[in-house]
């Protein structure tokens, strides 16, 4: 699941729970790479309706059983922005020893994360994913297409829509038909700490209109040969503004949290729900009162384009009491078949480990999501997901959060497409100072 903007400082003591899942219990001192003895390691996680405390405790216990001598103390982020929380902990000298789905940007350059070796990464499909200066600091275990468009098949039928849209013109025509029937076309949220949830229409438009033809476009922005105010990017932004101007995105919904946003889709408050692939697990685990379909946000030509991110795994602090044992435990956690299966069932993960296949009893929404991703892979149609890129071409720290706030203004008419693009360039410049 994606990160969110940090909600505020919470004392470490209030967010820490001891998980007794292995032998040991005494921290070793100074054993930076011994890989021997007994050690207690802190592990930063986060909780969502899909990934609850029981999920994490079971996964931790399975990994710990494979790495004798390690006891894990679980640190729970107060919200899903574990990167923001890790920064708070680091600032107070309490950076966890192991972290999941924490953006390595800044940490890696400051020498605070330990890189993984080529040998440690040999079982991963994309071993160089999100490399920073040629080194990988986060295990790239999971691919998340984002967004896909999940839709209410009953609403489509009520509006006379026989099949998912093939082109962007079809998408607009379907939105018009839905609105004519009194059905809100798109469910888009992003309130409170969950402003990231409003980014999906923009991520989709950048994917189809910018990255499909220029897959390394953000790299050009990094080296200064491109800007957000360039026509190709601003035209993609204009598509998002136009959706809202046409009344296809309910501005009231923009105040909803991520959880309330999903519930709104379940409560028939909109026909289409642009969201990450993790929704597939939720839809199968608790079926809405309608059948759910899925399609990729369509391009103008109808050519398949699917934004996705591969990463999200564990990182290890270079200051962990025993770096070698911490890395060994991280790999045990990420490569355990039961842990991977649990991640697929709980969060709709598309596992990026060689030879892995999902459980055979997955539900229809996950299977449709997985099949669509595999179709995109076969077609060479997978592109980066704008604002979620990692490694050397990632947005500077904080810019993605500012972009999400800017999308609120874009969809409510407070900013034009040109103003939004200029705003992004300004935020980029400030972040690089």
pLDDT the model gives residue 8? 29
Bridge partner list, 135: 132
d(CA 49, CA 347) in angstroms, rounded, equals 9
Asked if residue 6 has pLDDT above 70, the reply is: no
* Residue ranges of domains in the chain, CATH in brackets: 12-143+311-362 (3.40.190.10), 145-309+367-432 (3.40.190.10)
Tell me what percent of the residues of the chain surpass a pLDDT of 70.
91
pLDDT the model gives residue 25? 32
Asked if residue 362 has pLDDT above 50, the reply is: yes
Q: Over the stretch 115-158, which tens digit does the pLDDT of each residue have?
A: 999 999 999 999 999 999 999 999 999 999 999 999 999 999 99
Mean pLDDT of 284-289: 97
Comparing 21-30, 52-61, 72-81, 409-418, the range with the smallest average pLDDT is: 21-30
Q: Over the stretch 32-73, which tens digit does the pLDDT of each residue have?
A: 445 456 899 999 999 887 788 999 999 999 999 999 999 999
Asked if residue 15 has pLDDT above 80, the reply is: no
Which pLDDT band, with edges at 50, 70 and 90, does 7 fall under? very low
Asked if residue 17 has pLDDT above 70, the reply is: no
Place of tokens 């449709």: 368
Mean pLDDT of 347-356: 95
Asked if residue 269 has pLDDT above 60, the reply is: yes
Asked if residue 9 has pLDDT above 50, the reply is: no
> Could you tell me the pTM of the whole model?
0.87
Q: In what order do the strands lie in the sheet with 350-351?
A: 350-351, 142-145, 306-311, 382-384
Q: Over the stretch 231-256, which tens digit does the pLDDT of each residue have?
A: 999 999 999 999 999 999 988 899 99
pLDDT the model gives residue 333? 97
pLDDT the model gives residue 37? 65
pLDDT the model gives residue 208? 98
d(CA 291, CA 217) in angstroms, rounded, equals 37
pLDDT the model gives residue 295? 98
pLDDT the model gives residue 2? 46
pLDDT the model gives residue 48? 82
pLDDT the model gives residue 251? 87
Q: Over the stretch 77-116, which tens digit does the pLDDT of each residue have?
A: 998 789 989 999 999 999 999 999 999 988 999 999 999 9
Q: Over the stretch 294-306, which tens digit does the pLDDT of each residue have?
A: 999 999 999 999 9
Comparing 20-24, 217-221, 245-249, the range with the smallest average pLDDT is: 20-24
pLDDT the model gives residue 176? 98
Which pLDDT band, with edges at 50, 70 and 90, does 397 fall under? confident
Asked if residue 27 has pLDDT above 70, the reply is: no
d(CA 171, CA 189) in angstroms, rounded, equals 19
pLDDT the model gives residue 290? 98
Asked if residue 29 has pLDDT above 70, the reply is: no
Asked if residue 264 has pLDDT above 50, the reply is: yes
Asked if residue 23 has pLDDT above 90, the reply is: no
The end-to-end CA distance of the chain, in Å, is 30
pLDDT the model gives residue 36? 58
The CB density around residue 135, as the number of other CB atoms within 10 Å, is: 15
Provide the mean pLDDT of the chain.
91
């Amino acid at each position: 699941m994606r990160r969110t903007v940090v909600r505020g400082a919470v004392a470490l003591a209030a967010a820490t729970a001891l998980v007794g899942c292995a032998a040991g219990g005494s921290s070793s001192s100074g054993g930076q790479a011994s890989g021997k003895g007994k050690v207690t390691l802190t592990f930063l996680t986060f909780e969502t309706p899909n990934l609850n405390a029981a999920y994490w405790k079971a996964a931790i216990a399975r990994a710990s059983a494979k790495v004798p001598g390690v006891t894990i103390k679980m640190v729970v982020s107060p919200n899903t922005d574990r990167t923001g929380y890790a920064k708070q902990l680091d600032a107070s000298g309490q950076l966890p020893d192991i972290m999941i789905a924490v953006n390595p940007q800044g940490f890696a350059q400051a020498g605070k994360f330990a890189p993984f070796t080529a040998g440690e990464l040999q079982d991963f499909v994309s071993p160089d994913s999100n490399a920073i200066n040629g080194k990988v600091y986060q295990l790239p275990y999971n691919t998340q297409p984002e967004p896909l468009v999940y839709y209410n098949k009953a609403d489509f039928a009520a509006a006379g829509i026989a099949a998912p849209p093939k082109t962007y013109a079809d998408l607009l025509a379907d939105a018009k038909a839905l609105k004519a029937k009194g059905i809100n076309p798109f469910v888009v949220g992003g309130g409170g700490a969950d402003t990231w949830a409003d980014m999906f229409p923009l991520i989709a438009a950048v994917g189809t209109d910018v990255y499909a033809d220029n897959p390394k476009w953000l790299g050009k922005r990094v080296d200064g040969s491109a800007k957000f105010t360039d026509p190709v990017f601003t035209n993609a932004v204009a598509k998002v503004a136009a959706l809202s101007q046409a009344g296809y995105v309910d501005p009231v919904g923009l105040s909803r949290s991520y959880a309330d946003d999903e519930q709104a889709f379940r409560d028939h408050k909109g026909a289409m729900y642009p969201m990450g692939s993790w929704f597939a697990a939720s839809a199968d685990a608790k079926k809405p009162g309608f059948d759910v379909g899925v399609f990729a946000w369509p391009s103008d030509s109808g050519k398949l384009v699917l934004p996705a991110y591969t990463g999200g795994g564990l990182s290890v602090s270079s200051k962990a009491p025993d770096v070698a044992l911490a890395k060994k435990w991280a790999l045990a956690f990420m490569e355990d078949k039961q842990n991977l299966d649990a991640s697929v069932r709980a969060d709709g993960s598309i596992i990026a480990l060689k030879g892995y296949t999902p459980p055979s009893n997955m539900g229809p929404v996950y299977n449709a999501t997985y099949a669509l991703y595999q179709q995109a892979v076969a077609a060479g149609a997978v592109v980066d997901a704008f604002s979620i890129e990692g490694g050397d071409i990632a947005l500077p720290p904080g810019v993605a959060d500012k972009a999400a706030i800017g999308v609120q203004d874009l969809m409510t008419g407070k900013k034009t497409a040109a103003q939004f693009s200029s705003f992004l360039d300004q935020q980029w410049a400030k972040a690089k100072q």
